[in-house]
């Protein structure tokens, strides 16, 4: 269990994490989702005491991380970059980590086996691929058989087989009653792995809900309507609280009401419909709509393209 | 068609252990063991330690050959002249001739022990395992001091052994019955160890390998050389002499057989205490930065 209260981190005038409060429950995989630069890694570093919060507190299994007498048994953390000396072999790295907690060599060999590192265990880490580095990070996180796992972008650089493996291991560990907190900027990854999701943008928590709820609730559902009398229908809908978007002549995208209501309205006004389709939203869309305003590095439309678009809008008006 | 179930390599049943994994509390002793493993699992350690031995033994051999040449020249000279020469090129001086170069090599090791962790990101793993941080830093210091003491003692013993045939034929061996000579050799071990710890502290303060090594070289080699020139060029200026005798290298070296000839120097034990003082200062600053700042 991880509990953060008013957790804040400022670097000079820049606020990386802005008073976030959340609880990560044991027994499920919690995804930590947000665009790059949203504050995911900073939050995770504060959880394991590497960065000191400017304000607020965060505890793991009831205590601040540094107050635990055997921290590796409480939290296993895979942090963003490779946190390993490149000149040391994988096995020696794990042996050195294990020594701090009196963890026997047998366990070191176990996690090497578990993470599929055996062929490279006696090779120096400097020559590792990104995927091998990630596996080593996960091996180190598992060393102390911890009750809580914090994995920052664990599937980064992994091949499809490795991605599947991380997904399985995260779910398995959660099923054992452990707390699994996993960050990603990839919606699809979180959708597949997590049961619960925390969405963060510009240092603030934007959503904290089960994955299914985010998909159903937070996203705005769209109904696509094709009609030769689209303008008439749009006029009729103006009386309701529905939001109408004329995508192209004869095609409307309607938000804020459902297909049945639109169908009935159209029938009562004798408007012909060629298509009436509820478009199921995805977690991806929910995510995009949640984080649209909080993307740190927004890609701007190419100037020429933007110009054409506004030109078009101008000619329409 | 038969369906095949693909099992991802590396364990599709991603279990942890069936039995309970043995995990104990973090203690200083365990942190020491971890730092010990870390030290010996890097090639840079073997390189620097090997170089140190080569430097100390090499310089000793070179000095022994000089003693031999001078001995040949002095053949037939007045006994009092020969005695004066023996005093200037004594056995302890020969055996420990490479001590300041060796100190710089060991300083590189000291700095690397911590800057290597910052440059690779290893420091985050270290502090995740030892979140109170200071035990990890002091663990490094203890391991470094221990290794340096043994290394320098062994190197000096090797130098003594290798130069013994030449020195004995020139009547310039180390007299282990002379407490002054023994003290100066032990002082050499102490000097190099303090420089190594000084470099470790600088490494933790600067968190940058090249920066730390450059600073150590500046403090122990470049600045003393400049000040030394100044003491001769402007010997009438009293403060130049004062600065000179308080330099970490000059103060610390008074206890060694190769103190260098200056008109104004500190007593050997006072001098080494001054160097120890600087070292404690740097280590304290490093400990504070380590404890207070983000890793």
pLDDT at B13 over 90: no
Nearest chain B residue to A172 by CA distance is: B14
pLDDT value at residue B17: 46
A176 reaches B (C-beta below 8 A): yes
Alpha-carbon distances of A130 from A156, B10, B132, rounded to whole Å: 8, 16, 30
The answer to whether the beta carbons of residues B230 and B236 sit under 8 Å apart is: no
Chain A neighbors of B26, CB-CB under 8 A: 69-71, 100-101
Alpha-carbon distances of A12 from A6, A16, A40, A52, B292, rounded to whole Å: 18, 10, 18, 14, 16
pLDDT per residue over B35-72, tens digit each?
999 999 999 999 999 999 999 999 999 999 998 888 88
Confidence of residue B233 (pLDDT cuts 50, 70, 90): confident
Strands (E), chain B: none
**Residue B256, min C-alpha distance to chain A (Å):** 35
A241 reaches B (C-beta below 8 A): no
DSSP annotation of A302 reads P
* Cα distance between residue A288 and residue A223, in whole Å: 18
And the tokens for B194? 């303090």
% pLDDT > 70, chain A: 86
Chain A neighbors of B123, CB-CB under 8 A: 83
Q: Is the CB of A82 less than 8 angstroms away from the CB of B121?
A: yes
Confidence of residue B4 (pLDDT cuts 50, 70, 90): very low
H or E stretch covering B134: helix B134-169
For tokens 């707390």, what's the residue?
A179
pLDDT at A308 over 90: no
Chain B neighbors of A72, CB-CB under 8 A: 23, 128-129
pLDDT value at residue B82: 64
**Which of A29, A60, A78, A96 is most worth mutating to test chain B (most B CB atoms within 10 A of its CB)?**
A96
Nearest chain A residue to B33 by CA distance is: A99
Mean predicted lDDT score pLDDT of chain B: 89
Nearest chain B residue to A159 by CA distance is: B8
Chain B neighbors of A94, CB-CB under 8 A: none
Q: Which one, of A194, A119, A124, A121, lies nearest residue A155 by Cα? A: A194
Nearest chain B residue to A171 by CA distance is: B14
**Residue B114, min C-alpha distance to chain A (Å):** 11
Alpha-carbon distances of A122 from A86, B53, B113, B198, rounded to whole Å: 13, 28, 21, 33
And the tokens for B117? 């962790």
Chain B neighbors of A167, CB-CB under 8 A: none
pLDDT at A225 over 80: yes
Full-model pTM: 0.83
**Residue A107, min C-alpha distance to chain B (Å):** 7
What number of CA atoms fall less than 13 Å from residue B103's CA on the CB side?
27
Nearest chain A residue to B12 by CA distance is: A165
The answer to whether the beta carbons of residues A84 and A136 sit under 8 Å apart is: yes
Query: Residue A153: is it exposed, middle or buried by C-beta count within 10 angstroms (0-12/13-18/19+)?
Result: buried
**Residue A291, min C-alpha distance to chain B (Å):** 28
% pLDDT > 90, chain A: 56
Q: Is the CB of A49 less than 8 angstroms away from the CB of B131?
A: yes
| Residues whose CB falls within 8 Å of the CB of residue A136, separated by 6 or more in sequence, listed in order | A82, A84, A90, A93, A94, A115, A117, A125, A128
Q: Which one, of A46, A93, A37, lies nearest residue A65 by Cα? A: A46
Nearest chain B residue to A116 by CA distance is: B10
**Interface contacts (A, B; CB < 8 Å):** 155
Mean pLDDT is lowest, of A24-28, A114-118, B230-234, B278-282, for B230-234
Chain B neighbors of A93, CB-CB under 8 A: 41, 125
pLDDT at A314 over 60: no
pLDDT value at residue B15: 45
DSSP annotation of A298 reads P
pLDDT at A309 over 50: no
Which of A77, A115, A145 has the CB atom closest to B23's CB atom?
A: A145
H or E stretch covering A194: none
* Cα distance between residue A234 and residue B283, in whole Å: 75
- Bigger pLDDT: B212 or A237? B212
pLDDT value at residue B238: 84
Chain B neighbors of A116, CB-CB under 8 A: 9-11
- Bigger pLDDT: B15 or B218? B218
Alpha-carbon distances of B81 from B73, B74, B173, B175, rounded to whole Å: 12, 8, 18, 20
The answer to whether the beta carbons of residues B57 and B155 sit under 8 Å apart is: yes
**Residue A137, min C-alpha distance to chain B (Å):** 9
pLDDT per residue over B162-196, tens digit each?
999 998 888 888 888 888 999 999 999 999 999 99
* Cα distance between residue A200 and residue B31, in whole Å: 36
Q: Which one, of A29, A32, A39, A138, lies nearest residue A79 by Cα? A: A138
Mean pLDDT is lowest, of A184-193, B17-26, B277-286, for B17-26
**Residue A96, min C-alpha distance to chain B (Å):** 5
pLDDT at A257 over 70: yes
**Residue A202, min C-alpha distance to chain B (Å):** 21
pLDDT per residue over A150-180, tens digit each?
999 998 888 899 899 999 999 999 999 999 9
* Cα distance between residue A219 and residue A230, in whole Å: 25
Mean predicted lDDT score pLDDT of chain A: 86
pLDDT value at residue B88: 63
The answer to whether the beta carbons of residues B113 and B206 sit under 8 Å apart is: no
DSSP annotation of A63 reads B
pLDDT value at residue B164: 93
Nearest chain A residue to B29 by CA distance is: A100
pLDDT value at residue A283: 63
A72 reaches B (C-beta below 8 A): yes
* Cα distance between residue A121 and residue A106, in whole Å: 14
pLDDT at A16 over 70: yes
pLDDT per residue over A73-111, tens digit each?
999 999 865 789 999 999 999 999 999 999 999 999 999
pLDDT value at residue A307: 39
């Amino acid at each position: 269990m991880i509990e953060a209260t008013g957790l804040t981190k400022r670097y000079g005038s820049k606020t990386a994490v802005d008073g976030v409060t959340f609880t990560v429950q044991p027994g499920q995989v919690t995804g930590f989702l947000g665009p790059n630069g949203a504050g995911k890694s900073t939050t995770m570093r504060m959880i394991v005491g590497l960065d000191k919060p400017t304000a607020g507190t965060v505890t793991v299994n009831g205590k601040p991380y540094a107050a635990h007498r055997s921290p590796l048994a409480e939290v296993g953390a895979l942090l963003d970059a490779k946190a390993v000396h490149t000149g040391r072999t994988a096995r020696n790295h794990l042996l050195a980590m294990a020594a701090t907690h009196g963890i026997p060599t047998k366990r070191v060999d176990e996690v090497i086996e578990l993470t599929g590192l055996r062929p490279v265990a006696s090779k120096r880490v400097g020559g590792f691929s990104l995927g091998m580095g990630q596996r080593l990070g996960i091996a180190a996180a598992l060393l102390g058989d911890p009750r809580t796992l914090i994995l920052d972008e664990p599937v980064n650089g992994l091949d499809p087989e490795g991605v599947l493996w991380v997904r399985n291991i995260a779910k398995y560990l959660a099923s054992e009653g452990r707390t699994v907190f996993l960050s990603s900027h990839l919606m699809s990854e979180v959708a597949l792995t997590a049961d619960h999701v925390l969405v963060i943008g510009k240092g603030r928590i934007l959503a904290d809900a089960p994955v299914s709820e985010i998909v159903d609730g937070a996203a705005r559902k769209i109904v696509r309507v094709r009609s030769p009398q689209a303008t008439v229908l749009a006029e009729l809908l103006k009386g309701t609280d529905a939001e109408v978007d004329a995508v192209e002549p004869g095609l409307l995208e309607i938000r804020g009401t459902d297909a049945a209501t639109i169908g009935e309205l159209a029938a009562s006004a004798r408007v012909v419909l060629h298509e009436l389709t509820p478009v199921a939203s995805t977690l991806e869309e929910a995510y995009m709509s949640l984080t649209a305003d909080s993307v740190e590095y927004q890609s701007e439309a190419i100037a020429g393209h933007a110009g054409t678009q506004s030109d078009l809008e101008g000619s329409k008006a | 068609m038969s369906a095949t179930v693909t099992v991802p390599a590396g364990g599709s049943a991603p279990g942890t252990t069936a039995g309970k994994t043995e995990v104990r509390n973090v203690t200083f002793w365990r942190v020491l063991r971890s730092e010990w493993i870390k030290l010996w699992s890097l090639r840079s350690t073997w390189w620097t330690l090997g170089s140190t031995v080569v430097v100390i033994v090499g310089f000793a051999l070179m000095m022994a050959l000089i003693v031999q040449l001078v001995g040949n020249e002095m053949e037939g000279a007045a006994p009092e002249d020969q005695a004066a020469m023996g005093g200037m090129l004594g056995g302890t001086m020969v055996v420990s001739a490479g001590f300041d170069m060796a100190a710089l090599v060991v300083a590189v090791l000291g700095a690397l022990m911590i800057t290597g962790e910052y440059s690779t990101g290893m420091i985050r793993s270290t502090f995740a395992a030892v979140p109170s941080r200071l035990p990890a830093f002091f663990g490094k210091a203890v391991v470094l001091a221990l290794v340096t003491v043994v290394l320098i003692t062994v190197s000096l013993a090797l130098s003594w052994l290798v130069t013994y045939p030449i020195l004995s034929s020139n009547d310039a061996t180390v007299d282990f019955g002379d407490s002054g000579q023994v003290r100066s050799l032990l002082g050499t071990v102490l000097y190099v160890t303090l420089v190594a710890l000084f470099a470790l502290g600088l490494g933790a303060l600067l968190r940058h390998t090249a920066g730390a090594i450059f600073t150590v070289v500046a403090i122990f080699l470049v600045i003393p050389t400049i000040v030394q020139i100044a003491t001769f060029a402007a010997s009438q200026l009293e403060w130049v002499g004062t600065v000179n005798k308080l330099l970490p290298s000059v103060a610390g070296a008074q206890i060694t057989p190769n103190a260098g000839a200056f008109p104004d120097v500190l007593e050997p034990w006072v001098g080494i205490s001054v160097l120890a003082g600087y070292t404690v200062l740097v280590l304290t600053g490093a400990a504070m930065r380590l404890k207070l700042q983000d890793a």
